[in-house]
Structure 1
Amino acid sequence: MDFNPVHFLRCHSRKNDNADVQTQVWMCVFEPDPKDLDKTTNLVATCGGNSICFIDVTTGDVVAKYVSKDLREMFYSLAWTTLPNGINVLACGGARNVIHLINKSESVSFLQYPLKLKPKLRIQALLFHPESYNILFCGTSDGDVRVCDIGTPIAPDYKTDFKILSRFSAESEIFSLALCTVTNVLLAGCNDGLRGWHVIKPFDTSNSSVELLHFNVPQSNSESNCDTELVDSVEVLKDGVVATKCALQAAIYIWYLPSTVGNLKKTKCNSFTVAPTHILHWSNTDNYFMYIGAHIAAGLLCCGDDEGALWLYDISELDFKHNKVKPVLVEPTAILPWPYVTDSNSENKRKLNLDVYDIVVDKVAVDSTGKYIVAVTNNNMVCIWEKA
């Protein structure tokens, strides 16, 4: 777990201001390998302000960039899918409630689909179905999830028939989405806790009345005064194993979804209690919205904190299906502190050093080899760490 900081980039600046320390970079996602979707390429997509960057982590080069013509746009979420012809497409959305589909090789958006939302609402979570390349789940700040069919974009112009198949509500603001293909349960981290739905093909309007499921996540023994049920990050690691992070709790919970819900076709219950198999000790912070990053092939789970540090956990040897009465407490395998960063651009414009204020790591991504970790921050940084 020895990683070196190799490339720290400021590539989402408004008006190309090389001293912009205010634009937040919200999300980073590694590109799936079209030849093996269980692996990733060396390319990571990041979003901040009104731009999307495609970065080669081996060189630190921004190989492509998409900038929305709408200066008021602020991208919050990204999701990759691989078309049947092996072409990867990136979906993104944010403050302007428009779903963009981007062909990275041409740095253009070949489709922009506006959602008819009320003012000040936002697209906050996007997720492609792992087994259906054309199905996109879109979560918005009013608690709605839209199931979209992006069609089959075909080169060279990538024209496609985009449709919204169904819509249902979490009855709470949505921050993250994850889908378990073992149980066909779509999970949503929300302002009032963890929600879910049993979603099955063909995802058409007949499924629009799908029942809302409630998951009761345990309260940690954190010293913080936890008076919120907010779940800001949820990830499916593998085969029904889920990682969930709750705000104001110094813990990340690992639990097994299939044993939690049982047989959804037979049960009439819509409320379930989460029984963690493992509790990962994390930062005792009162800041929100620091999203988990993990890749099961790398055996690594990461989460940043509000001091610019990365908390790393080796999950390769964890027994996710153990039946012990009490969960296993897991300490971080390593904590990577924020390095000393020399910022001549900010110094020339007489701005304060980066570390004067809280450095919040908004999201972390891990490549399938476990060699690279990418972190994005609230002070307009894309941080690439390489395993020593």
Structure 2
Amino acid sequence: MQWGTCDCWKLRVPQKESISLEPVHFLQCHSKGNNRDDFKTQLWACVFEPPLDCGTRKDPVVSSSRTAATCGGDSVCLVDCETGIVLKKYKVTGEEFYTVAWTTLTMVTSDGRKKKHNVLAAAGRRGIVKLIHVTADYCYGEIKAHKKPIAMACFSPISETHLFTASYDKKICMWDIGVPDCDYNFKERQLLVLETIATPLRIALVPSCPDRYLVAGCEQGCFAWDIRLDDKQQKNRPYEVEFQFPNDEGNETSNHRVDGLAFLNEDIVVTKSSKTASINLWSWSRSFKQGKGGRRTVQAVILAELEWSSTDLPYLTLSTCPTEEYVFCGDEKGSVLKWPELKANGELLTDVLVNNVVTDPTFTYLVALTDVNIAAIWKKA
């Protein structure tokens, strides 16, 4: 039996540390038509809901959240990771959701009071962003962001209404989604269009300057853009720097697919490619610094390599837990978190890929998403 599992690396100390995680829930909540025999729907993304009392955006307080939003097929689910209960499910017939992202908006109530609410953005094959006010259990609007599928979306950590969408139309758009009034009227604005030479798959704002630069892993390389909102700069912008990485032969190249990208801290970037058997950790500041003086192609200053799978399968996404300095990545075999034997209709489920692995900020819960419509939840012992 071949079960995809989760690889994880602890990067704070040189010695190996054991991780004690207990599998607590295995959910099949994205089934089409609530069909319990649906083991074909692929699950793609998971994000934990931010606590409303998590401090200011400039000085956030890291706290645990037990509610996670997952997406796959035609639905988005909100799951309580402690109990395994599916709190809410949003379905759009004919859609296939690839990405979800949270933001906290300060909305004005009908009696004029200001109150914080979490809003969830979900997008996918149709290129439309759905905006969901989760407390009211209401999808209050949509943004027709792209004419082709949206691979990923993320909100700015310092500007609560600024949303970035990366699409198969080879564009990354920056939106101001506005704040809905008490009748849920809102007005979105497109602020920037970042042009790419290949499909952007993963995007991340640079933690040390999230209002200045965005990095994207694309089908043909890794790039950075200046995203400063300056009236003197053009709205449509080409990339500013392209980063090169060693290929299988050890030669520097920019052409390989970068289908995994995340920041481990304010400076260290973690990237992976399905064409190499390793995950690279590299310095944003030292690499980007080489681009000063007009150079548009620079070598990534690699700090470390993590041994990973030699699979050619793409889109097995990596993630990080910066507060605990962990890197996570699903694969087609795995070697760390073992799965129990799961059966469907009396038969073992085999050849299961882990598409994504995500933890909450305090590493209390870990969620693994598979290509067979199963979301697996572990809890740290």
TM-score range, shorter chain: 0.7 to 0.9
Residues 1:43 and 1:51: Cα distance change in structure 2 (over 3 Å): same
Counterpart for residue 314 of structure 1: none
State the superposition RMSD in angstroms.
2.3
Following superposition, the deviation at residue 204 of structure 1 comes to: 9.5
Listed as ranges, the gaps of 5+ residues in structure 2 are: 1-18, 55-59, 107-114
Question: Which residue among 157, 162, 169 is the counterpart of 2:183?
Answer: 157
Letter paired with 2:175? C
Match for residue 83 of structure 1 among 105, 124, 130? 105
Deviation of 1:122 after TM superposition, in Å, equals 0.7
In 2, distance between residues paired with 1:204 and 1:49?
Answer: 42
Residues 249-297 of structure 1: per-residue CA shift (max 9 Å, x gap): 1211111101111286x53121121121111111222211111122111
Evaluate the alpha carbon distance shift between residue 148 and residue 204 of structure 1 in structure 2; reply closer, same or farther with a 3 A threshold.
farther
Contact in 2 for aligned 1:182/1:258 (Cα 8 Å): no
Quote the offset at 1:239 in angstroms.
1.1
Aligned to 1:59: 83
Residue of structure 2 equivalent to 1:315: none
Partner of 1:320: none
Gaps of 5+ in 1: 312-334
Partner Cα distance (1:174, 1:188) in 2? 6
Corresponding position: 1:140 with 2:133:
no
Per-residue deviation at 1:206?
A: 3.4
Instruction: State the alpha-carbon separation in 2 of the partners of residues 105 and 54 from structure 1.
Output: 11
Take 1:49 and 1:179, find their aligned partners in 2: how far apart are those partners?
A: 27
Q: Is the 8 A contact 2:286 2:301 kept in 1?
A: no
Shift in Å at residue 65 of structure 1? 1.2
Which residue in the other structure is 2:324 paired with? Answer: 298
Structure 1 counterpart of 2:365, from 372, 376, 388: 372
**Equivalent residues of 2:128, 2:146 under 8 A apart:** no
Closer/same/farther in 2, CA of residues 92 and 177 from structure 1, 3 Å limit: same
2:271 to 244, 256, 260: 244
SS in 2 for 1:261: helix
Correspondence 1:209-248 to 2 at 5 A: 209-219=237-247, 229-248=256-275
Aligned partners of 1:4 and 1:208: how far apart in 2? 48
Of residues 167, 183, 190, the one that matches 2:193 is: 167
Describe how 1:22-101 pairs up with structure 2 within 5 A. Answer: 22-36=40-54, 37=60, 38-68=62-92, 71-84=93-106, 85-101=115-131
Confirm or deny that 1:362 pairs with 2:366: no
Match of 1:339 in 2: 340
Which residue in the other structure is 1:284 paired with?
Answer: 310
Are the structure 2 counterparts of residues 366 and 161 from structure 1 closer, same or farther at C-alpha, using a change threshold of 3 Å? same
Counterpart mapping for 1:248-287 below 5 A: 248-262=275-289, 267-287=293-313
CA distance 1:257–1:140, change in 2 (3 Å):
same
Q: Which residue of 2 aligns with 1:5?
A: 23
Alignment match, 1:321: none
Match of 1:126 in 2: 153
- Alignment-derived partner of residue 316 in structure 1: none
**Would the aligned equivalents of 1:64 and 1:105 in 2 still touch at CA under 8 Å?**
no
Between the aligned partners of 1:143 and 1:234, the Cα distance in structure 2 is 17
Partner residue, 2:214: 186
Compared CA separation, residues 116 and 229, structure 1 to 2 (3 A)? closer
Q: Partner residue of 1:106? A: 136
CA distance in structure 2 between the aligned counterparts of 1:46 and 1:279, rounded to whole angstroms: 30
Q: Could you tell me how far 1:83 is from its partner in structure 2?
A: 1.4
Secondary structure of the residue aligned to 1:18 is coil
Letter in 2 for 1:271: T
Question: Is this contact kept in 2: 1:186–1:196, CA < 8 A?
Answer: yes
Provide closer, same or farther for how the CA distance between residues 182 and 242 of structure 1 changes in structure 2, counting only shifts above 3 A: same
Contact kept? 1:126, 1:137, Cα under 8 Å: yes
Indicate the percent of aligned positions where both proteins have the same amino acid: 31
> What is the TM-score of this pair, normalised by structure 1?
0.83
Shift in alpha-carbon separation, 1:376–1:136, aligned structure 2, 3 A: same
Look up the SS of the partner of 2:33 in the other structure: helix
SS of 2:287 mapped into structure 1: helix
Q: Secondary structure at the match of 1:35?
A: coil
Identify if the C-alpha distance between structure 1 residues 158 and 18 changes in structure 2 by more than 3 Å, giving closer, same or farther: same
Asked if the contact 2:196/2:238 (under 8 Å) is kept, the reply is no
Q: Secondary structure at the match of 2:47?
A: strand
- SS of 1:45's partner is strand
Structure ranking higher on relative contact order (CA contacts 8 Å, 6+ apart): 2
TM-score (normalised: structure 2): 0.85
Deviation larger for 245-254 or 79-88: 79-88
Pick from 350, 353, 372 the counterpart of residue 348 of structure 2: 353
